Structure 1
Amino acid sequence: MTTRTQRRRAALALPAIVAVLALAACSGSGPAGADNAPPDDPPAPAATGTGPYPKPTTTAEVSPRATAPIRPPHGGIPVPASVDQEDASAVARGALTALYTYDTDVDPGRQQAALRMAAVGWTTAAYAAQQRAAQPRGGTGAAWNEWTRHRAYTTVEATQADEAGRPADTATTAYRQWDITITPRGRDGWTGDPEMSTAFVELTRTAGGKPWRLSALQVQ
């Protein structure tokens, strides 16, 4: 058998393998019930554009980890019911605002904000489970330690920054890009240097007309 024939047969077999893997990945589901509860995780199609957007997510088995109590930060955070949940951009903004709202008076570290975002219902069940299972990397860092000395909380500015490479929306999957600026503000009147990043968000929902939820995130 020639090398060319082998390559041709491998190429023909690949779509079938991908289809099997996709079917297996979509077998999980999340809890249902309350309006703000994470919805079941729908199957997500492959991205059709270019850029560092998150890859479609799958439900993974994770072990819950004990965490500090989830408490509201200074000024609170937005909840899904405060926005049009059929608007992917509005849901993305609300989720990112919750994710980057820190308060050193109630949070032991930055991961607590991710747990808080998931707890109020901005994410899919799978993403919430990933956050509960995440292990913090190293210490809280010099910036957080400085914020703590001033008993600081953060304010968040989120600006939509979609580019031409963004994958096209489908009925159940949407991608958004945001420029994020967070500013630490001390209870003693101190204001720290802003932190800036770019967030690439994947949102999914179970069907057209259902609420969007954050299902994956990459930050640069």
Structure 2
Amino acid sequence: MCEGFAATAHRIDTTIDQDPAAAYQRSVAYLDARLAAAVARRDPVRQTVQWQAWIHYRAYTEVQVAPYAGDALPPDTAEQRHHAVLVTVQPVGRDGWRGPLERHTVVCTLQPSTIGWRISGYEIG
């Protein structure tokens, strides 16, 4: 669940996305109803200098997700689980340009729902 969310939330294509928030809109299938509603209400992201550069290069992101091997996460219970992954993101322009690598840790809190476990909270660091 956390792997899919992390990959989707970081997979961006400037030729179809108006801003980086579009990736989060695509990730709602992994979220519980409350968090999905909050993501749906989120305002568009401000157009940063980085985003403008990505648009110039018609960039998309290559995303790799790997297991997390850092600090211990809180123990799982019947009502809550924690999962973390490492995400490596590299913007790639359609002209061959490659931007700097970004590495993030994504920690997800999952809770059971009527359709299985869903992400009820997350932190990206």
Q: Which runs of structure 1 show a deviation greater than 4 angstroms over 4 or more consecutive aligned residues? A: none
Check whether the contact 1:109–1:144 (CA below 8 A) recurs between aligned residues: yes
Superposition deviation, residue 215 in structure 1: 1.4
2:3 corresponds to which residue?
Answer: 93
Q: 5 Å matches for 1:1-220?
A: 91-118=1-28, 121-136=29-44, 139-206=46-113, 211-220=116-125
Check whether the contact 1:162–1:176 (CA below 8 A) recurs between aligned residues: no
> Tell me, which stretches of 5 or more residues in structure 2 are unaligned?
none
Check whether the contact 1:122–1:214 (CA below 8 A) recurs between aligned residues: yes
State the identity as a percent: 28
Deviations 1:31-64 (A, max 9, x none): xxxxxxxxxxxxxxxxxxxxxxxxxxxxxxxxxx
CA distance in 2 between partners of 1:127 and 1:200 (Å): 15
Superposition deviation, residue 186 in structure 1: 1.2
With the length of structure 2 as denominator, give the TM-score of the two structures: 0.89
Deviations 1:4-25 (A, max 9, x none): xxxxxxxxxxxxxxxxxxxxxx
Larger radius of gyration: 1
Deviations 1:75-129 (A, max 9, x none): xxxxxxxxxxxxxxxx1101111111001001111111101111xx111111110
Superposition deviation, residue 164 in structure 1: 4.6
CA distance in 2 between partners of 1:155 and 1:204 (Å): 29
The one of the two structures with greater contact order (alpha-carbon pairs below 8 A, sep at least 6) is 2
With the length of structure 1 as denominator, give the TM-score of the two structures: 0.53
CA distance in 2 between partners of 1:128 and 1:136 (Å): 15
AA at the equivalent of 1:134:
R
Q: Secondary structure at the residue paired with 2:6?
A: helix
Q: Over aligned residues, Cα RMSD in angstroms? A: 1.7
